[in-house]
Structure 1
């Protein structure tokens, strides 16, 4: 009897010890996991609008989530490299992708094999803004308005001109094509590896005009170093109330606004998606986030994952029609 009780006591002690060790190990793993930073991929180089937005958000998301959020620039191919990096990343909640419409809605339509499918390979985490693209001229260009620019190009001989765009086969490039068609100009889109190098050439008067998002232009526009002469959409922008829309100028078909969102690899745990999305919702209403984003020319507003998915679907459908109308063939 005594031996049996002793054995049971030893067994009970062993079970308790094992459970304690397991709990300690679990806590250790959880602590290590929480200390592991979230990598926020950005498909464009430092210095551009997307990079500035990512860095602003990452600081506050770090506080909201209680873990580091590190911006990881993977520039090239209009965000394609960053998107491929996201697809290849473990679906463990520690790799995300901050992207605007180009990589998610446009690239899969203009490249035959982009190396990712945003519908099947990614899951929306949350959106935080819409914006409009803008047409700007360099500081040395004599044009004070969009119509002045059209007249200036026509005066150059045969109506030829080059317009910078942040990426090939992008929304800005298709806008250049449509502007050329409407105003009977021989405009050539000059693609760059992001808005920052395009802006550098505009500031250096190496190229007379460029198309990009308002966040790309707004600071230099305010400083008088470039002049935004037209914006897309149906409403003038609060950040640039004196700049007319292309709708006012008679160029229709750009009613669906581009968007910014955050994506995770498919298969990422639903709890992480929910937690990060909730943190994003809290962060975007903070005055120190909402104010600067608005000043950049964004219309700030949280979109839940399903809302971002719906915005993505609508924008993709709209641009499918526009791309087809330009006669562009996927490369």
Structure 2
């Protein structure tokens, strides 16, 4: 199945390239930039940079893309920057699907319309999310259920950080607490890195973050990953049971990072960008470097990305309602 999907994607990319005007195929843009809504050092930044490094010399761009980090407002600032950019194909957004599929359910006055202001270009990488704990939590706590028991016994310390309010990791933590009648205080951060740093420093009990953002410190023994959100165990933490294996099947989810262009970007330019991104994601150096961050490289067509975004939007609506979180709450 995977080989067939790769073949279809490759065929689609080649067809898209052949449909471009000869001048575009030969030259491409001199320079393009990728806007990322999270700080350097995290999984979003790694995805943007690994792909950007390999995009040069394609029909889309002559040189490697430049990555600009625009952290803040839970990734919304980057979305706003790209929405306002000229729709000529020289500016792309790299974002988790949270900003497009979940935020419309929590912001009554969202400053952008995910379905009208952006054009899907390509899925880049898929990730799971993880619950990890730091030195504030006793070493005897090695499972999600044991953490919940500890949290109930220590309500003044029962908190978890996430990379942003309204992000998928935020809601996974909220659902975990809600479904088990455990009062877990959510502490939002501007990206996973500062949250994990606070957890390592003993100022925060736990974190719900992309698995890759906890991976290095888990392997170094500074923190402990207690559970992951995938349908199966990740190849990066095979020793860690999934939420489902531990009795929390309702938390099973995987999230992708995807590239978007401003709405109105010409279809042939989007096709060239898609081909360049898919080509980058087949490079072994890109696959391996993303794996270090707990990410699985995975391309797509624009149509596949659009379909997945809409499916996730429908899925998260009732979950957000269940948690009861809004931007004003």
Give the superposition deviation at 1:203: 1.9
Counterparts in 2 of 1:62-73, with a 5 A limit?
Answer: 62-64=56-58, 65-73=61-69
Q: Does 1:45 align with 2:45?
A: no
Q: How far 1:310 sits from its partner (Å)? A: 1.0
Aligned twin of 1:17: none
Partner of 1:34: 29
| 1:271-302 alpha-carbon deviations (Å, 9 max, x no partner) | 11111110111110111011121232223221
Q: Hey, what's the Cα distance between the residues in 1 that align with 2:83 and 2:291?
A: 31
Give 1:141 deviation, angstroms. 2.4
Taking the aligned partners of 2:184 and 2:157, their CA distance within structure 1 comes to 6
CA contact (8 A) 2:287 2:296 kept: no
Q: Which has the larger radius of gyration?
A: 1
The number of residues matched between the two structures is 300
* 2:137 matched residue in structure 1: 141
How far, CA to CA, are the matches of 1:55 and 1:211 in structure 2? Answer: 24
Greater helix content: 1
Cα-to-partner distance string for 1:86-132 (whole Å, 9 max, x where unaligned)? 11000011110011112111112111112101100000111122211
Distance in 2, Cα, partners of 1:139 & 1:62:
44
Q: C-alpha distance in 1, partners of 2:42/2:297?
A: 18
Gaps of 5+ in 1: 1-26
* Paired residues of 2:192 and 2:213 also in contact (CA < 8 A): yes
Which range moved further: 74-83 or 225-234?
A: 225-234
Which residue in 1 is equivalent to 2:82? 86
Q: TM-score, normalised by structure 1?
A: 0.85
Report if aligned partners of 1:93, 1:269 keep a CA contact under 8 Å in 2.
yes
Distance 2:199 2:258 in 1: 28
- The answer to whether 1:308 aligns with 2:302 is no
Superposed counterparts of 1:255-294, under 5 Å: 255-294=252-291
- Superposed CA RMSD in Å reads 1.9
Cα distance in 1 for residues equivalent to 2:306 and 2:326: 26
Q: If the length of structure 2 is used for normalisation, what is the TM-score? A: 0.86
